[in-house]
């Protein structure tokens, strides 16, 4: 056993020596993960305390002198008046996003793959990638301008269709979820095609040539060759999407919130901000974040198990 362990250590050191530059390139990524992902986990102790930064003169004393309350903060979260409303809003945005937004990059990638002109295909890709690099601050400003009831171009188009019954998109709480999903589709669909186009680049062209001999049309090729080729990629991306059901994103939701639609727009991410940063209730905010993480973990595991049962590779 010792000899085997020694051989393993020797081979590991030999690998580092032979590929030292590759291992050096890992250091920034490792440091990033440690500083921003693992070290902050110590702050999860706040979820089980009545934490106050004024309990002591140092941050360490604030942790050690804050009274331990066990699962008290989770009890406050689950029995609070806002929990079910926030859960409903979060699930509403996430589920409708899976239905409408998740397939959008797949459909666009399939359409781009059918383009024969490489120059035109490159131009289209460039145009649909651009919105990804626009910040949500600009997106929110553009949306407010387009749907303004005074001089918004989109609002006047709706007024031409519905007349005086044209909806005020920015103030109608029922339209908040469609508005958020529409922004995501416009902003991220093009950039989301990258991973699917990369998967499509590995499709064996001889399969298409054989289908031509068999007389298959373009739709039959897409259904029987192209889609099966990216099926494993789609499954992995779906597992990741399911795992982030409770993560709707903070910045976009916060920018689109107003006093009228708040009942339909408050989600876990904005709730954590308002309770933790604005109101200073760090313990409740931390408990909410930990609840989200635990649920996401079980969702990823469950989705991966379902993928395995469907004879797919899964995420791990």
Residue 6 has pLDDT above 60, yes or no: no
Predicted local confidence at residue 285, as pLDDT? 92
Predicted local confidence at residue 1, as pLDDT? 43
pTM: 0.84
pLDDT, average across residues 114-128: 88
Predicted local confidence at residue 315, as pLDDT? 65
How far is the CA of 298 from the CAs of 11, 40, 110, 194, 252, in angstroms?
36, 21, 32, 28, 26
Predicted local confidence at residue 212, as pLDDT? 79
Residue 9 has pLDDT above 70, yes or no: no
Confidence of residue 270 (pLDDT cuts 50, 70, 90): very high
Confidence of residue 231 (pLDDT cuts 50, 70, 90): confident
Positive or negative torsion for Cα 268, 269, 271, 277: positive
Residue 24 has pLDDT above 90, yes or no: no
| CA 51 to mean position of chain CA atoms | 30
Contacts of 240-245 with C-beta under 8 Å, sequence gap 24+, read 240/300, 240/315, 241/98, 241/102, 242/98, 242/299, 242/300, 242/302, 242/303, 243/296, 243/297, 243/299, 243/300, 243/303, 244/94, 244/296, 245/90, 245/91, 245/94, 245/95, 245/98, 245/295, 245/296, 245/299
pLDDT > 90: what percent of the chain? 39
**What would the pLDDT profile of 47-85 be if each residue is shown by its tens digit?**
999 988 888 778 888 888 889 999 999 999 999 889 999
d(CA 316, CA 199): 18
d(CA 184, CA 102): 10
Predicted local confidence at residue 2, as pLDDT? 47
275 CB-contact burial (10 Å; exposed 0-12 / middle 13-18 / buried 19+): buried
Residue 118 has pLDDT above 60, yes or no: yes
Q: What is the mean pLDDT of the chain?
A: 87
pLDDT, average across residues 209-213: 81
CA-nearest of 31, 26, 28, 3 to 15 is 26
Predicted local confidence at residue 5, as pLDDT? 54
Written as six digits, the tokens of 122 are 């490159």
């Amino acid at each position: 056993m010792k000899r085997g362990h020694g051989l393993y250590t020797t081979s590991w050191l030999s690998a580092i020596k032979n590929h030292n530059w590759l291992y050096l390139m890992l250091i920034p990524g490792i440091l990033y993960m440690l500083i921003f992902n693992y070290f902050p986990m110590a702050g999860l102790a706040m979820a089980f305390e009545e934490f106050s930064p004024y309990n002591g003169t140092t941050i360490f004393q604030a942790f050690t002198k804050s009274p331990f309350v066990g699962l008290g903060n989770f009890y406050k979260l689950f029995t609070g008046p806002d929990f079910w409303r926030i859960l409903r809003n979060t699930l509403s945005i996430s589920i409708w996003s899976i239905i409408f937004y998740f397939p959008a990059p797949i459909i666009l990638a399939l359409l781009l793959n059918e383009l024969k002109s490489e120059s035109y295909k490159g131009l289209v890709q460039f145009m649909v990638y651009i919105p990804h690099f626009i910040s949500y601050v600009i997106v929110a400003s553009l949306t407010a301008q387009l749907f303004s009831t005074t001089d918004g171009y989109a609002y006047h188009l709706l007024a031409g269709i519905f007349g005086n019954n044209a909806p005020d998109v920015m103030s109608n709480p029922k339209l908040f979820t469609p508005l958020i999903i529409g922004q995501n589709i416009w902003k991220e669909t093009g950039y989301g095609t990258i991973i699917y186009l990369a998967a499509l680049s590995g499709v064996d062209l001889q399969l298409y040539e054989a289908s031509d001999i068999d007389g298959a049309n373009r739709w039959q090729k897409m259904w029987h060759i192209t889609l099966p080729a990216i099926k494993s990629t789609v499954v992995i991306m779906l597992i990741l999407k399911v795992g982030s059901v409770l993560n709707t994103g903070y910045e976009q939701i916060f920018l689109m919130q107003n006093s009228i639609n708040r009942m339909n727009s408050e989600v876990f991410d904005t709730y954590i901000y308002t309770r933790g940063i604005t109101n200073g209730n760090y313990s409740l905010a931390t408990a909410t974040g930990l609840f989200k993480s635990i649920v996401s973990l079980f969702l990823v595991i469950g989705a991966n198990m379902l993928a395995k049962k469907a004879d797919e590779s899964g995420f791990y």
